Chain A
Amino acid sequence: MSENRRKTDPDKDLVARAQKGETAAFDELVVKYSPKLYGLIYHMTSNREDTNDLLQDVFAKAYRSIKRFKGKSSFYTWIYAIATNMTLNFLKKRNRRRGMSLDDMDSAIERDEEFIEITSTSDPVRETYLGELQLKLNEAMQTLSDNHRAVVIMYDIQGVPHTEIAKILKVSEGTVRSRLFYAHRQLQTQLGEFWNQKT
């Protein structure tokens, strides 16, 4: 994300066309960024239905507000901040925590080197481990506060740099690092026993 900021925004042309009212240009932006934004919202809520509704709201808001986008940041940073803020506000308002409604793991995970390294077991055992791993990790993530979970998702899952996270959440870089440290300790405690059994 920060590389996009130093260079010209790769979406500059699409954004300019969308600001003039060209819906096809906005559609291209939706196709480009909906998977990444889906991931952010999904990992925050752990619920497919909520994710779908929120993602619709995010793009609807972006569509209404795009004429006010001045280009001070990249378009991706801008819409990512909208998605983060709307999701955090949604989680604050949600009275009770809804049950998890999870997506299936993409089959490509079985070919992932990290996954093979972590499990280091035979294929049949690995498949069983896969379901347990997904559930256990999501449960552990839900024990974090919304703010701690947000930094873990942005940094560890989506690879957003500390500086960008700080701008999106409007906190200092030090706060981002300390939240990450605390969240990692919390997750390690939650996963400790599970790890020792399986790996």
Chain B
Amino acid sequence: MSKDNQNDEKLQKLLKLKNYETPGDEYFEDFLVDLKERQRRDAMQASSLLTLRDRMAQWFQELGPERWAVPAGSMAAVAITFFAISSRNQPLSEDSPIVSQDHPGKTETHVFELQLPKPQNSPVQPASTPAGYVPASSVGYLREL
């Protein structure tokens, strides 16, 4: 037998001796106990997740026809919130009617004149009376305003 083959045979015998590197029987008894404990923990975790899923599904079913309102209402609430936040954050545009053309960036307050129909029994207004002024002596529903 060549030297290489002899060395190879010797090496293989040496490697086989590594089978004696072992932790002993007690280790494997404890190993089985630890494994079963881990399986129990895994099973409990899986069970609680399944229970949660089943309860959610049951609640959703029990809602009846109204169940479609839940996702629809949720989406509406989200959309409204989104638009409210985005419109609050938007700057005022130049085309806005309350933005003054003469003074950009400043807002003005406009008074809109009311063009009210004259009641039949209303007294004739003196010429000096400003348009739209309703005297206290007038009778009618308008005064009550």
**Which A residues contact B (CB, under 8 angstroms)?**
23, 27, 30-31, 34-35, 38-39, 42-43, 48, 52, 55-56, 59-60, 63, 102-106, 108-109, 112, 114-115, 117-118, 133-134, 137, 152, 156-158, 184, 187-188, 191, 195
Docked complex Cα distance between A31 and B27 (Å): 11
- The reply to whether A106 and B20 form a contact with Cβ atoms under 8 Å apart is yes
Determine if B7 is an interface residue (Cβ-Cβ < 8 Å). yes
- The reply to whether A184 and B14 form a contact with Cβ atoms under 8 Å apart is no
Give the size category of B's interface with A.
20 to 34
- The reply to whether B39 and A60 form a contact with Cβ atoms under 8 Å apart is yes
Known interface pairs A23-B39, A117-B13; 16 further A-B residue pairs with C-beta atoms within 8 A, sorted by A's residue number: A23-B36, A27-B32, A43-B18, A55-B31, A103-B21, A104-B21, A105-B21, A106-B21, A133-B14, A133-B17, A134-B21, A137-B15, A157-B15, A187-B11, A188-B11, A191-B14
Docked complex Cα distance between A181 and B11 (Å): 12
Known: A39-B19, A184-B8. A137 touches B14 (CB 8 A): yes
- The reply to whether B32 and A184 form a contact with Cβ atoms under 8 Å apart is no
Least CB distance, B16 to chain A, in whole angstroms: 6
Counting residue pairs across A and B whose Cβ atoms lie within 8 Å, the total is: 89
Determine if B113 is an interface residue (Cβ-Cβ < 8 Å). no
- The reply to whether B22 and A106 form a contact with Cβ atoms under 8 Å apart is yes
Instruction: Provide a sorted-by-A list of 11 A–B residue pairs whose CB atoms are within 8 angstroms.
Output: A31-B28, A35-B28, A39-B19, A43-B21, A59-B35, A63-B39, A105-B20, A112-B20, A114-B13, A184-B8, A188-B11
The interface bits of chain B over 26-50 (1 if a CB of A lies within 8 angstroms of the residue's CB, else 0) are 0010011011101100100000000
Contacts of B22 in A (CB 8 A): 35, 38-39, 103, 106
Q: Which residue of B lies closest to A152 (CB)?
A: B15
Contacts of A55 in B (CB 8 A): 31
- The reply to whether B18 and A157 form a contact with Cβ atoms under 8 Å apart is yes
Contacts of A59 in B (CB 8 A): 35
Q: Which of B66-91 contact A (CB under 8 A)?
A: none
Q: Which residue of A lies closest to B4 (CB)?
A: A188
Determine if B10 is an interface residue (Cβ-Cβ < 8 Å). yes
Contacts of A115 in B (CB 8 A): 17
Docked complex Cα distance between A29 and B40 (Å): 18
- The reply to whether B14 and A103 form a contact with Cβ atoms under 8 Å apart is no
Least CB distance, A67 to chain B, in whole angstroms: 14
Determine if B12 is an interface residue (Cβ-Cβ < 8 Å). yes
From B19, B24, B35, give the contact of A60 (CB < 8 A): B35
Contacts of A43 in B (CB 8 A): 18, 21
Docked complex Cα distance between A156 and B13 (Å): 8
Docked complex Cα distance between A184 and B7 (Å): 9
Least CB distance, B14 to chain A, in whole angstroms: 6
Contacts of B34 in A (CB 8 A): 56
Determine if B23 is an interface residue (Cβ-Cβ < 8 Å). yes
Contacts of B24 in A (CB 8 A): 106
- The reply to whether B11 and A184 form a contact with Cβ atoms under 8 Å apart is yes
Docked complex Cα distance between A60 and B23 (Å): 21
- The reply to whether B8 and A188 form a contact with Cβ atoms under 8 Å apart is yes
Docked complex Cα distance between A117 and B9 (Å): 12
From A105, A108, A118, give the contact of B14 (CB < 8 A): A118
Contacts of A137 in B (CB 8 A): 14-15, 18
